Amino acid sequence: MTDAAPPQSIRYENPVPKVARIWLDRADARNAQDTRLLYQLNAAFDRAAQDDDVSVIVLAAEGPHFSSGHDMRERGSRRVLAEERTVGTWCGFGCAGAEGLMAREKEIYVGFCERWRNIPKPTIAAVQGKVIAGGLMLIWPCDIIVAADDAEFMDNTVAMGVCGAEFFHHPWELGVRRAKEMLFTSEAVSADDALRLGMVNHVVPVDELQEFALGLAERIAQRPLFALKLTKEAINAAQDNQGRVQALQTSFALHQLCHSHNMQVHGMPVDPTFQMPTSKSRQESASA
C-alpha cells in the first residue's frame, strides 16, 4: 500500500492564452504557508517558467485573505523537507540548534523568494484582504502588484522578537522611513498608502481584482517574450547594484541571530510574550 498523496494547496490554470494563473488554495487556513504549500508553489512557478507558451504569470489567492503568513501551527516540517527535492545547495536540515533552522529558512524562505524574483517572465500578484509577514514574501518577489481596496499589508515579526521577515525587501518596497515605522509598530499599511508609497501598482475594488489583473497580464503578454525577459533582468540588475543582495544577506543573518537569542531565552524561535495591536482591522494577524 502506498501513502496517500499530500493535499494540494496550490491550483494551476491557463485562463487565457500566454498567461498562467497560480492560486493559493488554502482559504480555510487563510492561506497560511506550511512547507508543503511552498514546495507546491515553487513547482507551479517552475511549470509556468518552463512553458514556452506562457509569457506572464499571475499569483492569486482563494478566500477573503491573500495570506496570513507562515503557518505557526505546522509540525513535522523537517520530515516534509526530507521528502521534497530541495532546490538550493544548503544541507543539514535535521541538525540541532541554529544550523538546522538556518538551513531550513535558507531553503524555503529567502531561497524560494530570490528564485521567484528572478523568474525571467513577468509576474503579477493579485492581492486582497490581509497580507501578513510571510505573505509579503510571496508578493514582493513579483514584478507588479495589484491590490484590492480592502488589502492590508503587515509585518509583525519585530513584535515576535525577530528583526523582520526573512526576505528583507522592506526598504525597497516602502522606502526607508516607512519601512522602519511598519516594522517598529507592527501596524498595517493600507492599500491606498501602499499605492502612494509605490509598493503596489494599482488599487481596484475587490470584486474587480481578478479581472483587472488578468487584463493587465493579457496586455503584457502581447509583447515579445524575449524583450520582456531582458527588460526584467535589466531592472533587477539595477536594484541589485544598489546593494540589495548584500543587505538581504546581512538582514537574514541578523534574523537568525534573533531566532538563536529567543531559543536561549524562551526555548522557541520567537518571543512567546508578543502582543499585537488590538484594533479590529489587525486582530486577524495573530497567526502570521
Read off the pLDDT of residues 21-48 as tens digits, 9 standing for 90 and up.
Answer: 999 999 999 999 999 999 999 999 999 9
Q: Which 3 state secondary structure label does DSSP give 5? A: coil
Only one residue has cell 501551527, namely 73
Angle at alpha carbon of residue 169, lines to 65 and 162, rounded to 5°: 80
The whole-number pLDDT of residue 21 equals 98
pLDDT in tens, 92-117: 888 999 999 999 999 999 999 999 99
Residue 3 lies in a domain: no
Residue 9 CB neighbours (<10 A): 20
Residue 85 lies in a domain: yes
Residue 5 lies in a domain: no
The whole-number pLDDT of residue 283 equals 39
In this structure, the strands spanning 19-24 and 10-16 are antiparallel
Residue 122 lies in a domain: yes
Residue 220 lies in a domain: no
Over range 257-279, report the average pLDDT: 85
CB proximity list for 120: less than 8 A, separation 6 or greater: 49, 229, 232, 233
Residue 2 lies in a domain: no
Among 156, 231, 169, CA closest to 199: 169
d(CA 256, CA 101): 8
Residue 80, all three cell numbers: 516534509
pTM above 0.75, yes or no: yes
Residue 283 lies in a domain: yes
The whole-number pLDDT of residue 1 equals 40
Domain residue limits at 30: 10-214+225-287
Any alpha helices (H) in the chain, and if so which ranges? 35-50, 77-83, 97-105, 112-117, 136-139, 170-174, 176-185, 191-197, 209-221, 225-240, 244-266
Residue 219 lies in a domain: no
Residue 45, all three cell numbers: 512557478
Total domains present in the chain: 1
Q: What is the CATH number of the domain that holds 66?
A: 3.90.226.10
pLDDT in tens, 42-99: 999 999 999 999 999 999 999 999 999 999 887 767 777 778 888 888 888 889 999 9
DSSP for 68-117, written as a single string: --B-TT---HHHHHHHS--SSS---TT-SHHHHHHHHHIIIIIIHHHHHH
Full strand arrangement of the beta sheet holding 152-154:
130-132, 152-154, 189-190
The whole-number pLDDT of residue 259 equals 95
The whole-number pLDDT of residue 282 equals 41
